[in-house]
Amino acid sequence: MKSWIKWLIAALVIALLAAGIARVLSSRKAQQAALAIQTASSATQSIELIDTELVQVRQQTVARSLPIAGTLKTLNSAFVKARVAGELQGLLVREGDSVKAGQVLAHIDPDEYQARLRQTQQQADASQAQIEIAQRQFDNNKALVEQGFISKTALDASIANLNAAKATYQAAMSATEVASKTAKDTVMTAPIAGLIAQRLAQPGERVAIDTRILEIVDLASLELEAALSPADSVAVRIGQTATLQIEGSAQPVSARVVRINPSAQAGSRSILIYLSLQPLPGLRQGLFAQGSLATTSFTGLTLPLSAVRTDKPMPYVQVVENRKVVHRPVTLGERGEINGSLMVGVEGLAENTVVLAGSVGAVREGVSITTAEPKAAPAPTSGK
């Protein structure tokens, strides 16, 4: 190959490499220019907020609270049980029916028990007749002994017969009392006033002794049974108040601690506390309730817990400084409630520092903040 051809090929290769390098450098310059424009645009970006989206760090006294949850239970409830075995009759009440204390609810077929009562009464009558016979025999023998016609041994035998007849009569009378009570137990009455919660048997069934027939609950007095850890239970005292949210009800319910179980539960080691509820229509036994129990209080710089962000390794808040957003790390302290809002103590911020509320969401540092002016209400129009 001629030398001038080699030089021509080398020149072409060098030209192509130079063109490629120039193209890459031009692309990089374009990317850097676009990034600079984007950064400048971000630096000048601003958002508009209303007053409710800004909160201040304030020195406040906050009530400490414990989360509690449990099931509503009636303070007074009772099961109506069969005291005797037999066929269930006359059960007419059903779930939701109102009953009064002492009201007859059902009965067991009484024929067998009334027959036993008559039998024991007849046995008692027969025993009483034996007493009369033994008494006359004793009186006669006593007179004969005084006249010397019979020996004292015959009198002793008549005394024994009389005492035996009396004992037999007493036993017959006790059996009559037992049979009478059993006959009365065939009638089932309501031990308390309330509502029928469960009907556990049907008319015509043959039930055994202690079979549950009905459950009655008194909704006039409801309480919450809540389990606390041993550490949390130390701060609980009788008389402390709680605010509860009950499933199915939008209205919060106030409650008060009335009892604390003196023993820990086996296995879980939890402590049960009992809170009486303010009576409200619509509350039912078995509903789930949860809320917070106010225990003690603390004073310090606080913020709404929702304003603290945790999407970085350390908790931080979005502070407004010179109308720009700055992320400030904070140290969280104790938690509590003020008027139902969950608050947290913070360290690392000065009092009256303005912070973005949790409803605003995450905002980049450097973003400008403007405050919206409140809109004037439209003037009322007069109707003609």
* pLDDT digits 0-9 by tens, 229-252: 888 888 899 998 888 888 887 788
Q: Is the pLDDT of residue 20 over 90?
A: no
Work out the average pLDDT over 320-340: 84
Q: 14-29 b/e with 16+ CB inside 10 Å = b?
A: eeeeeeeeeeeeeeee
d(CA 233, CA 297): 16
Strands 316-321 and 324-329 come out as antiparallel
Q: Is the pLDDT of residue 305 over 70?
A: yes
Complete edge-to-edge strand list for the sheet that includes strand 54-56: 46-49, 368-371, 324-329, 316-321, 354-356, 54-56
Q: Is the pLDDT of residue 12 over 70?
A: yes
Q: Is the pLDDT of residue 273 over 90?
A: yes
Helix, strand, or coil (residue 331): strand
Confidence of residue 33 (pLDDT cuts 50, 70, 90): low
d(CA 354, CA 69): 35
Assess contact for 113 and 89: CB atoms under 8 A: no
The number of helices, as runs of H, and strands, as runs of E, in the chain is: 4, 20
pTM: predicted TM-score of the whole model, two decimal places: 0.59
d(CA 253, CA 247): 11
By C-alpha distance, which of 340, 374, 326, 319 is closest to 52? 374
Q: Is the pLDDT of residue 34 over 70?
A: no
